[in-house]
C-alpha cells in the first residue's frame, strides 16, 4: 500500500510539474481544476517542488468575477539547471546551452573540418566543462547530441558523413558527466522541437512529420505524440529512398537526396556557374535576379521535395508536414511553389504543408527538450518550452519565427 501511494504521489507530482511547464504562469487552483486533484494535494506537491527550487512564485494573478483573493501564480524556475545540446554536422559542431524552461543562454558553432570523431568528442567534453550559467540550483542537468544518421538505443548505427570508428559517443559522455545523455537522430529532434516549442497552440501536434533537408534528408515522425523510430531506429530515412533505378543494375540505384538535398542544389549551381563558394543568401539573391541557372535548379528542387511530401503524406496521413530547410526559409516563394505542385497531385483531403521556422537551431532546441524530459523523469508526457534565443544569439529576430 505504501509503495502504491508513493507511485501515485510520483505520478501526481509529474502531472503538476507538467501543468506548470505547459500553462505557467499558473495558479494552484487552476492546476487543481485541470487535473481534478484535491487542492491540498496540489499545495503539498507545490511546496515540495518549491523547496527543491524547481518552481517559483511570481506574483498575483487576476481574481475571479465573484471577487476573492487573487491567486499566486507559479512558473518553472529557469535557474534550477541547464542542458547542453550538440549537433554534429558535416564540417561543424553546433552547441547551445539552455535553461530548464528552454531559454538559450549560449550558442556557438565550431569548424570541425578535418576532425575525426575522437577530436569531436574531445571538443564536446571541453565545451561542456566550459559552459556554465550563474546562480544555478543544480547546474548541468543533461546533454543531447543530434546525429545526421541512424541512432538506435543511443548508439549510432549508420553515419554517412562522419566515420564513427565504432566509438560510442554515449559511453564517452556518460563517463565524463553524471547526467542523462541523449544521442538521437537529427530529424527526430527537429520534430521534437516542432512539437514542444511550437507557438501553434491551436494546431494539433499529435501526428506530424518534419522533413529535415540539409546535406542529407530525413524525416522525424510523430505518431500519437511520440517519436516513431521503427524496429531498429531506421524510420524516416526518406532521403535514401530510390529516385531512379535501372532494374538490370539495381546496385546503381540513385537516392533522392543525391538530387534534392540542399548541398546537392548548391553544388549543382556552383558547377554550372563555375563558382567556388555559394551560400543560401547568395542563392536567394540570384533567384530574385531571375538568374536562369538558379531558377531552373530551384524549380527542380521544388519538384523533388514535392515528390517526397506527396509520398510521405500518403504513407503516414499526418495532420501536417513541416519542411525544415534553410534554403526554403531564405526564398519566400518556395513554400507556395511546393504547396501548389502538391495540390495538383492526385488524392483527396490534402495534408497541410508548412514551413518549420528556425531550422538552424531546431535540432539543438529539440535536444534541449529531450534532455530535459529525461532529467526530470517525465518521458511520457508533453512539456512546452520557451522559445527565446536572444541571450545566446544577440542578432536573432524572434519576430521572424
pLDDT surpasses 70 at 248: no
Instruction: Identify the weakest region by mean pLDDT among 9-18, 235-244, 248-257, 375-384.
Output: 248-257
For residues 75 and 19, the answer to whether their CB atoms sit within 8 Å is no
CATH topology of domain 202-357: Nucleotidyltransferase; domain 5 (3.30.420)
Domain 12-76, CATH: 1.10.10.10
pLDDT > 70 fraction of the chain, expressed in percent and rounded? 91
Q: Phi, psi at residue 217, to the nearest 5°?
A: -135, 125
| pLDDT of 391 strictly over 90 | no
Query: Which CATH code fits 79-193+360-400?
Result: 3.30.420.40
- CATH 1.10.10.10, the chain: domain bounds: 12-76
Question: Which of 241 and 353 is assigned the larger pLDDT?
Answer: 353
Cβ within 8 Å of residue 330, ≥6 positions away: 280, 281, 283, 284
How many C-beta neighbours within 10 Å does residue 352 have?
13
Is residue 387's pLDDT more than 90?
no
For the question of whether the overall pTM of this predicted structure is more than 0.95, the answer is no
Intervals of CATH 3.30.420.40 along the chain: 79-193+360-400, 202-357
Q: Which pLDDT value is given to residue 245? A: 60
Lowest mean pLDDT among 132-141, 172-181, 309-318, 363-372: 132-141
Residue, of 199 and 91, whose pLDDT is higher: 91
Residue 252: the pLDDT is 66
Report residue 307's pLDDT band, with 50, 70 and 90 as the boundaries.
very high
Of 187, 183, 253, 240, the residue nearest 214 (C-alpha): 187
Amino acid at each position: 500500500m505504501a509503495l502504491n501511494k508513493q507511485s501515485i504521489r510520483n505520478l501526481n507530482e509529474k502531472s503538476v510539474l507538467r501543468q506548470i511547464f505547459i500553462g505557467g504562469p499558473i495558479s494552484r487552483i487552476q492546476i487543481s481544476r485541470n487535473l481534478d486533484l484535491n487542492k491540498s494535494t496540489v499545495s503539498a506537491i507545490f511546496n515540495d517542488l518549491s523547496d527543491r527550487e524547481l518552481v517559483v512564485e511570481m506574483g498575483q494573478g487576476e481574481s475571479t468575477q465573484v471577487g476573492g483573493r487573487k491567486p499566486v501564480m507559479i512558473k518553472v524556475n529557469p535557474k534550477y539547471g541547464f542542458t547542453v545540446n550538440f549537433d554534429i554536422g558535416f564540417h561543424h559542431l553546433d552547441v547551445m546551452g539552455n535553461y530548464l524552461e528552454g531559454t538559450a543562454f549560449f550558442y556557438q558553432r565550431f569548424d570541425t573540418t578535418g576532425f575525426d570523431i575522437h577530436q569531436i568528442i574531445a571538443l564536446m567534453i571541453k565545451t561542456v566543462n566550459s559552459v556554465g550559467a550563474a546562480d544555478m540550483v543544480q547546474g548541468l542537468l543533461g546533454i543531447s547530441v543530434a546525429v545526421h544518421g541512424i541512432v538506435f538505443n543511443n548508439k549510432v548505427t549508420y553515419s554517412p558523413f562522419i566515420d564513427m570508428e565504432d566509438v560510442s559517443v554515449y559511453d564517452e559522455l556518460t563517463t565524463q558527466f553524471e547526467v542523462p545523455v541523449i544521442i538521437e537522430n537529427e530529424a527526430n529532434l527537429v520534430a521534437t522541437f516542432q512539437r514542444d516549442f511550437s507557438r501553434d497552440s491551436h494546431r494539433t501536434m499529435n501526428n506530424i512529420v518534419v522533413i529535415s533537408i540539409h546535406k542529407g534528408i530525413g524525416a522525424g515522425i510523430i505518431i500519437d505524440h511520440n517519436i516513431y523510430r521503427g524496429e531498429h531506429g531506421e524510420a524516416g530515412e526518406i532521403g535514401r529512398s530510390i529516385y531512379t533505378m535501372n532494374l538490370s543494375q539495381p546496385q546503381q540505384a540513385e537516392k533522392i537526396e543525391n538530387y534534392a538535398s540542399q548541398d546537392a542544389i548548391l553544388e549543382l549551381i556552383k558547377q554550372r556557374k563555375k563558382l567556388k563558394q555559394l551560400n543560401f543568401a547568395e542563392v536567394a539573391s540570384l533567384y530574385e535576379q531571375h538568374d536562369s541557372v538558379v531558377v531552373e535548379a530551384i524549380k527542380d528542387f521544388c519538384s523533388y521535395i514535392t515528390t517526397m511530401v506527396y509520398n510521405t503524406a500518403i504513407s503516414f496521413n499526418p495532420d501536417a508536414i513541416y519542411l525544415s530547410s534553410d534554403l526554403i526559409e531564405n526564398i519566400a516563394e518556395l513554400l507556395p511553389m511546393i504547396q501548389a505542385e502538391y495540390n495538383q497531385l492526385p488524392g483527396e483531403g490534402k495534408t497541410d504543408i508548412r514551413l518549420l521556422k528556425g531550422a538552424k537551431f531546431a535540432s539543438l532546441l529539440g535536444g534541449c527538450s529531450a534532455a530535459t524530459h529525461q532529467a526530470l523523469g517525465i518521458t511520457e508526457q508533453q512539456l512546452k518550452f520557451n522559445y527565446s534565443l536572444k541571450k545566446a544569439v544577440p542578432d536573432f529576430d524572434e519576430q521572424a519565427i
